[in-house]
């Protein structure tokens, strides 16, 4: 049992600290300003549990065989596309329909795309190859959710005080900048 708790505590600390100021916090903030708080929180928990489940599974089986640079490049293209898509104008009725149908799915998809190949996923792969996999999964998931919830609550506070069009433009800029940053990082890694 000590092995489980050691793995969970270590993973929580590494991932929580690794997420501070990371792109997923910025994305969580922008999603919280655009979607229902319950959709964002549920989406973060689901996406994070999936991501770290995959990471730990990879860490315990194949280690370093994941082609993260190509995945990052694909995610970069999707982020830029998502940023451009969020610039399209929408009226209130369209926004309500979109939230009911896709708020949760949008959050899950965006978080998964943002984190594939990210340092915290790589941390979980490494920790999963050395420590109790269930402890690593639980600790990493809790660490990322805790860090991102800080941004979610800040985003909800902002949404109550800033007009929707500014939020839409801000979210678009954040996604495009994240996409460009991921793209540059992937291209550098592939070229080097």
Most confident of 39-43, 55-59, 128-132, 176-180: 39-43
Q: How confident is the model at residue 138 (pLDDT cuts 50, 70, 90)?
A: very high
Q: How far is CA 128 from CA 9, 11, 32, 147, in A?
A: 13, 9, 30, 20
pLDDT value of residue 72: 66
Work out the percent of the chain whose per-residue pLDDT is above 90: 17
State yes or no: pLDDT of 1 exceeds 50.
yes
Please report the pLDDT score of residue 153 as a whole number: 80
Helix/strand/coil (H/E/C) assignment for every residue in the chain: CHHHHHHHHHHHHHHHHHHCCCHHHHHHHHHHHHCCHHHHHHHHHHHHHHHHHHHHHHHHHCCCCCCHHHHHHHHHHHHHHHHHHCCCCCCHHHHHHHHHHHHHHHHHHHHHHHHCCCHHHHHHHHHHCCCCHHHHHHHHHHHHHHHHHHHHHHHHHHHCCCCHHHHHHHHHHHHHHHHHHHHHHHHHHHHC
59-107 pLDDT, tens per residue?
Answer: 777 655 556 666 667 667 766 876 787 677 655 444 443 444 468 888 8
Kindly report, residue by residue over 6-45, the tens digit of the pLDDT: 989 988 988 887 787 677 777 887 787 778 888 889 999 9
pLDDT higher at 39 or 151: 39
Domain count, the chain: 1
Q: Give the pLDDT confidence score for residue 42 in this predicted structure.
A: 93
| Cα gap 101→167, rounded to integer Å | 20
Q: What residue numbers bound the domain in which 139 lies?
A: 2-191
CA-wise closest residue to 122 among 58, 44, 36: 58
Name the band, by pLDDT with cuts 50, 70 and 90, for residue 51.
very high
- The percentage of residues in the chain with a pLDDT greater than 70, rounded to a whole number, is 79
């Amino acid at each position: 049992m000590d092995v489980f708790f050691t793995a969970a505590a270590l993973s929580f600390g590494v991932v929580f600290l690794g997420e501070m100021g990371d792109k997923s916090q910025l994305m969580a903030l922008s999603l919280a300003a655009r979607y229902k708080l319950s959709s964002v929180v549920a989406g973060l928990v689901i996406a994070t549990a999936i991501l770290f489940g995959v990471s730990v599974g990879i860490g315990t089986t194949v280690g370093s065989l994941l082609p993260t640079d190509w995945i990052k490049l694909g995610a970069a293209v999707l982020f830029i596309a998502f940023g451009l898509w969020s610039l399209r104008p929408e009226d209130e009725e369209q926004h309500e329909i979109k939230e009911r149908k896709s708020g949760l799915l949008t959050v899950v998809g965006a978080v998964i795309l943002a984190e594939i190949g990210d340092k915290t996923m790589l941390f979980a792969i490494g920790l999963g190859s050395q420590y109790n996999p269930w402890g690593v999964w639980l600790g990493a998931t809790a660490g990322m959710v805790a860090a991102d919830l800080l941004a979610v609550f800040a985003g909800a506070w902002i949404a109550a005080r800033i007009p929707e069009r500014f939020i839409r433009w801000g979210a678009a800029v954040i996604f495009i900048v994240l996409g460009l940053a991921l793209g540059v990082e992937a291209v550098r890694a592939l070229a080097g």
